[in-house]
Amino acid sequence: MGAAASYNLAKRGLRVLNVERFGVNNKSGSSHGRTRIIRLAYYEDQRYVPLLRRAYDGWRDVESKSGKKLLQVTGGLMIGREGGELVSGVLKSARAYGLPHEVLSSSEVEGRFGIFTLTGEYTGVYEKDAGILFAEESVRAFVGLGSEAGCEFRFSEEVRDWKSETEGIEVETSSGVQTAPKLVLCAGAWNGRLLRGLVPLQCERQVPFWFASAGEDFAPPKMPVFIMEEDKGVFYYGIPDVGHGVKVARSHGGLVSEPDRVKRDVTDEDIRPVRDFVSRRLKRLDGTPLASTTCIYSNTPDTNFAVGLHPADPRVVVMSACSGHGFKFASVLGEVAADLATEGKTAHDISFLSPARFGKERRGA
């Protein structure tokens, strides 16, 4: 989010300083781990669909400007029980926006894709436009384009605090104090602290795994990205092999802690549920993972993002709390951040993402 916002601001001719505590694609936050899913028929809430349409255009634009391949369309399969959160949410968005989709029975899913083992009670919704974002390449592309546009990136420098002053926003970092007319806060799970409780954020540990591919059925174009709501509220997802194995993880259900205290070692307790899922649903994969990483979700109570002007000082833009589903939006939210910082408003409908919705308007600045 920070790299995307910086690029968009610098592109508009502003003097931009990006302060990052660690480095590009550091393994402490939420944006590493090679790949992310992008999809349009959004089960979480149909109000994200217009933002997603713009996000797809944005990714294509960044690809063409950077000369890097960032988005690979593979198709996406959402599997769950009819009437469950995933399937009903996807269908609601698809129908509301006329998005192309196909509804498949369990046996149709098994027949068409060959890699899944389902039982009779599941429904699949196939969306042809879903795919993979190369996450680390994307961050590098935003940083590269931002630098070319004149943004100064400072790594290994920490923002310690900020306050509103008449002449601007005073930001204290580990190497001094900066005053700027505008501040965009994109600190992921650490936004909770920097916003002093304005957005109640929960930092949840996640552990994705990579498994050895079992042939071309597990790579694009044959294997789509998928999400499966196996039981009510129990979600797993997978990304086909694009060079490092098949990525499979459980979404949510992780340990909650302070972002600086996330347990980084991966144990059998982390592996077990994912290995069991693989042995139930992706039987041809060898369930011994090749690799893993730890990553964090920054969850709001309603799992919608917190994006908008700070209610106590509209010179501060809040850009984060992506609740485990924000990466795909970076291309559009970078634009939104630039709109908010330069104009104080945006043409995109982000009213449902307001950081003031948690009722703590007076805290913060």
Residues at the contact surface with ligand FAD, assessed by CB under 6 A: 1-2, 19-22, 26, 28-31, 33, 36-37, 158-159, 186-188, 190, 206, 208, 249, 295-297, 320, 322, 324-328
Shortest Cβ distance from residue 170 to ligand FAD (Å)?
A: 15
Which CB sits closer to ligand FAD, 102 or 158? 158
For the chain, how many residues are written?
Answer: 365
Nearest CA-CA partner of 203 in 249, 250, 258, 253 = 258
Residue closer to ligand FAD by CB (options 293, 342) is: 293
Closest to ligand FAD by CB, 108 or 363? 363
The whole-angstrom separation of Cα 318 and Cα 164 is 14
Q: How far is the CB of 166 from ligand FAD (least distance, A)?
A: 24
Q: Which is nearer to ligand FAD, 24 or 214 (CB)?
A: 24
Q: To the nearest 10°, the Cα dihedral for 223, 225, 231, 232?
A: -150
Complex with ligand FAD: residue 94 or 187, whichever CB lies closer: 187
Q: Rounded CA gap, 17 and 10, in Å?
A: 9
**In whole angstroms, how large is the CA radius of gyration of the chain?**
20
Measured from each CB, the residue nearest to ligand FAD is 29
Q: What is the DSSP string of 298-310?
A: EE-TTS--EEEEE
Dihedral angle over CA of 331, 335, 4, 171, nearest 10: -150
Minimum distance of ligand FAD from residue 246's CB (angstroms): 14
Task: Find the shortest distance in angstroms from Cβ 190 to ligand FAD.
Answer: 3
User: Phi and psi dihedrals of 163, rounded to 5?
Assistant: -145, 155
Cis amide linkage into residue 221, ω under 30° from 0: yes
Which has the closest alpha carbon to 191: 323, 6, 362? 323
Helix ranges (H only) for 149-300 are: 191-194, 268-281
Task: Please give the single-letter amino acid code of residue 229.
Answer: E
Nearer to ligand FAD, 137 or 158 (CB): 158
Pairing of strands 313-320, 183-185: parallel
* DSSP-assigned letters across all residues of 326-348: -GGGHHHHHHHHHHHHHHS--SS
Nearer to ligand FAD, 23 or 215 (CB): 23
**Closest to ligand FAD by CB, 20 or 129:** 20
Q: Nearest distance from residue 269's CB to ligand FAD, in Å?
A: 17
**Eight-state DSSP code of residue 33:** S
Supply the minimum distance, in Å, between the C-beta of residue 38 and ligand FAD. Answer: 6
At residue 214's C-alpha, the angle toward residues 213 and 218, to 5°, is 65
- Least distance in Å: CB of 205 to ligand FAD? 9
Q: How far is the CB of 359 from ligand FAD (least distance, A)?
A: 22
Nearest approach, Cβ of residue 119 and ligand FAD (Å): 25
For tokens 């994969």, the residue is: 285
* Nearest to ligand FAD of 108, 157 (CB atom): 157
